[in-house]
Chains A and B, each alone.
Chain A
């Protein structure tokens, strides 16, 4: 990744892109992602993909939520609880958060999560998003025959190259 170079050509990025994040915690907290690594990935989206609007759906405990809020700018939305009265009901909050993540320009999901798979499916089938815009936080741990059609790596150079090509950039 250190060798790639970006050169702007004809197509400028006029729009601030959005990123939905499903940061799965509780029993998935041991899969290698923590607040620090998550923020690093968010930073890469911001720097390399012009992401400016970030929404994080998470079931993290209160302590980790506070840690996350402390280290992220206040403009980054974490859960929808403070954004909508409908989110007072857990099931509705979950679906609203899934709906947000399904409609963002990029989606950063957690491996092995049904919520992540559901969001990816909604993005693909309902909103026509490219499968390349769904990215997992870390390498998928494939269990049994369940193999979601999500990229198994985060921000691989090939993805960046394809993205840059789509955006009219050369490198």
Chain B
């Protein structure tokens, strides 16, 4: 599922499921002859629980999972969120259902093998439920084929929140049958997951708190081709000189530097051949 050649399911759930509440569903089923009723029937048929969805896609019914309701809108926070969820999954012995990264599959930006290795013996699965058509223009450029598949909104029993926020962010994909459980702070999450195993799939609903943990984050590197490109650029950086940077200073700062540097150079033994600090150029 995580390979470059993986199929990508493009969901229309956000468009289809956000127009009516559950109460509206039952009412509309009674008038199937109407267009609205037909439309809502389609929505109802396409609705399924998160557990069913995961089983249909080959996930282990005996396994326990953790996922999040919505990814960050910004990539860097998204990466941080993914790493945090991976770390929590490892520490609480749960597999991870990973949502898309900025509308891209995770193996495109992150090293998916590294993520799998980090999660072992638990697993990490890609849950491409929030894909949108925003990046259609770039799919071809990265060699991914897509399968357009109508997908339901995902129904779960509850979601876990922090600091009193639900932060669903307007997503119409999810439907939670019960009110959220406010854990107060991210640090309470692991304790909760270890002691409450009533849910097969736990969904984290809070986006704002996901970055509040800054230790023991999963060390997941970026994809190899991006890493190699960064190494190439780093290797090809051209060296600058102190003199060049000295001219970049404002007159006041340059004066400060000149006051500081002679105090150092008075006692420092300069050696131009050793590649050491060159102070005389200023």
Contacts and interface: CB of A to CB of B under 8 A. Distances in A.
Contacts of A8: 268-269, 271, 274, 276
A100 B76 CA distance: 15
B233 A13 contact: no
B217 A121 contact: yes
B257 A47 contact: yes
Of B211, B230, B238, most buried by chain A (CB within 10 Å of CB) is B230
B268 A73 contact: no
B76 A73 contact: no
Nearest to A122: B221
Interface string A88-104: 01111011111110111
B188 interface: no
A148 B247 CA distance: 34
A94 B282 CA distance: 35
A47 B279 contact: yes
Contacts of A30: none
Interface string B217-253: 1010111011101111110111111101111111001
Interface in B118-158: 138, 141
A52 B269 contact: no
B181 interface: no
A112 B247 CA distance: 30
Interface residues of B, number: 63
A56 B263 CA distance: 29
B158 to A, nearest CB: 25
A91 B276 contact: no
A81 B16 CA distance: 38
A50 B217 contact: no
Contacts of A96: 226, 229-230, 233
Contacts of A99: 222, 226-227, 229-231
A18 B234 contact: yes
A66 interface: no
B102 interface: yes
A19 B114 CA distance: 27
Interface in A98-155: 98-100, 102-104, 114-115, 117-118, 121-122, 125-126, 144-149
B244 A73 contact: yes
Contacts of A114: 76-77, 80, 211
Interface string B262-275: 01101111010011
A155 to B, nearest CB: 12
Given A7-B268, A50-B276, A75 B244 contact: yes
A98 to B, nearest CB: 7
Contacts of B222: 95, 98-99
20 contacts: A8-B269, A12-B274, A16-B275, A39-B248, A46-B240, A46-B245, A47-B242, A50-B276, A73-B248, A89-B138, A95-B109, A95-B223, A95-B226, A96-B233, A98-B76, A99-B226, A100-B230, A114-B77, A121-B83, A144-B212
Q: Which 8 A-B pairs have the closest CB atoms?
A: A99-B230, A73-B244, A125-B219, A12-B274, A52-B239, A75-B240, A53-B237, A75-B238
Given A73-B240, A149-B215, 7 more contacts: A5-B263, A5-B264, A15-B275, A47-B242, A89-B138, A89-B141, A146-B212
